[in-house]
């Protein structure tokens, strides 16, 4: 059998190994150290913001964002429904209630009209998810947020390298959060970041991400023996300097990785329309899609399970798209969001990563065509 075509795969090599070696030589491997600070400075520039904070993952960054924005018991936060449940979980962790809003049927980001309809006197904010990396409709969402006095968070977990109307992902809302999980466009295996232009929120998030005190690096140069005082219960949400070293090397690759994924998406876009019953995803002209995942929509009469089984048995990895969060029992959400619920059952992620060759794309499309014929 030919080699397996991986669903996702990191692009790493000597540059990342050299970066880790430099961190080892520095003697500071733990979290929130000098390499983290260097990464934060560079990532803030990448995101187009004044501040960035390196975190253990995107979930912790989301929790920090909501904590510094003041979400708590009795509050409601409107959340784009089509997302990994870390988005909804972050609201639950604060004691607030996630209120899920349906999505656009074309690019699967939160529908601004659904946001407007979901606002109640208890609503304090909105979390818009850049689904698979393509940014949501932030101009419209900002108008809604300002009209009702709400804050706006960008869940940019998949969005490194994306942009919206010329503005970079990470700068599109009051606070944004990123993931550097192994499936993301740039990765250290795990990790995340929070970005904002607000100094007060950035400082508070930095305090909370180190148990509620300033990181040790701030005391490193002292000739005295400063002893921090805990006046607020925080968390251990720090990124290690080892991971930050890897992320510095990954930032050097970012533009090339996004460009290559765009080329691969174009290849798929040329070939997939020949398969009846398969609709390829779209990228809107006013935004740059980084193609963290490539997710197709199957016609409703096609058995997705049989398609997946045929792909996997022929060495082509695949998976479902993401979650219709409102149907997850953990939330006890009352209501039906028809667009998200329908697409959740019809979406299929096929291989997308910068290491794919054109021959891999051809093979994926060939096996997918066979699978769809068998699954009608």
CA–CA separation, 137 and 151 (whole Å)? 15
184 is catalytic: yes
Q: What DSSP string runs through 66-81?
A: HHHHT--TT-EEEEES
By the 10 Å C-beta count (0-12 exposed, 13-18 middle, 19+ buried), 229 is classed as: exposed
Tokens representing 273 are 């329309």
Distance, in Å, from the CA atom of 371 to the CA atom of 117, rounded to the nearest integer, reads: 40
DSSP structure string for 252-297: HHHHHHHHHHHHHHHHHHHHGGGSTTEE-----TTEE---SSEEEE
Q: Which of 99, 95, 105 is nearest to 119 (CA)?
A: 99
Alpha carbon distance, N-terminus to C-terminus of the chain: 25
| In contact, 32 and 210? CB cutoff 8 Å | yes
Secondary structure letter of residue 327 according to DSSP: G
**CA–CA dist 185, 158 (Å, integer):** 7
- Among candidate residues 147, 165, 184, 207, the one labeled active-site is 184
φ, ψ of residue 375 to 5 degrees: the values are -100, 5
**By CB neighbour count within 10 A (0-12 exposed, 13-18 middle, 19+ buried), where does 89 fall?**
middle
Cα Rg of the chain, angstroms:
21
Tally of residues, the chain: 376
The catalytic residues are 184
């Amino acid at each position: 059998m030919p080699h397996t075509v991986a669903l996702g795969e990191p692009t790493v090599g000597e540059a990342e190994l050299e970066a880790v070696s430099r961190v080892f030589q520095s003697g500071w491997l733990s979290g929130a150290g000098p390499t983290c600070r260097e990464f934060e400075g560079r990532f803030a520039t990448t995101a187009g913001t004044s501040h960035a904070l390196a975190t253990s993952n995107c979930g912790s960054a989301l929790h920090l964002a909501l904590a510094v924005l003041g979400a708590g018991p009795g509050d409601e936060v409107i959340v784009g429904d089509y997302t990994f449940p870390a988005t909804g979980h972050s609201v639950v962790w604060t004691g607030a209630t996630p209120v899920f809003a349906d999505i656009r049927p074309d690019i699967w980001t939160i529908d601004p009209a659904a946001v407007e309809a979901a606002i109640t006197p208890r609503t304090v904010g909105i979390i818009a998810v850049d689904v698979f990396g393509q940014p949501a409709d932030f101009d419209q969402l900002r108008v809604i947020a300002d009209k009702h006095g709400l804050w706006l968070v960008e869940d940019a977990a998949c969005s490194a390298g994306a942009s919206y109307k010329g503005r970079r992902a990470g700068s599109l809302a009051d606070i944004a959060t990123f993931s550097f999980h192994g499936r993301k466009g740039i990765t250290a295996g795990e990790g995340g970041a929070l970005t904002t232009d607000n100094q007060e929120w950035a400082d508070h998030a930095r305090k909370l991400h180190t148990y509620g005190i300033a990181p040790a690096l701030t005391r490193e140069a002292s000739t005295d023996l400063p002893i921090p005082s805990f006046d607020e219960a925080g968390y251990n949400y720090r990124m290690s300097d080892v991971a930050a070293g890897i992320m510095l090397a990954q930032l050097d690759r970012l533009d090339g990785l996004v460009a290559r994924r765009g080329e691969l998406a174009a290849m798929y876009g040329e070939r997939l329309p020949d398969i009846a019953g398969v609709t390829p995803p779209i990228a809107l002209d006013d935004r740059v899609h980084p193609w963290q995942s490539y997710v197709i929509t199957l016609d409703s009469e096609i058995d997705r399970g049989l398609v997946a089984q045929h792909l996997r048995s022929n060495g082509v990895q695949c998976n479902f798209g993401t979650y219709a969060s409102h149907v997850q029992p953990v939330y006890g959400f009352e209501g039906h969001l028809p667009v998200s619920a329908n697409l959740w059952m019809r979406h299929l992620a096929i291989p997308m990563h910068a290491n794919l060759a054109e021959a891999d794309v051809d093979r994926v499309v060939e096996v997918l065509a066979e699978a769809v014929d068998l699954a009608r």
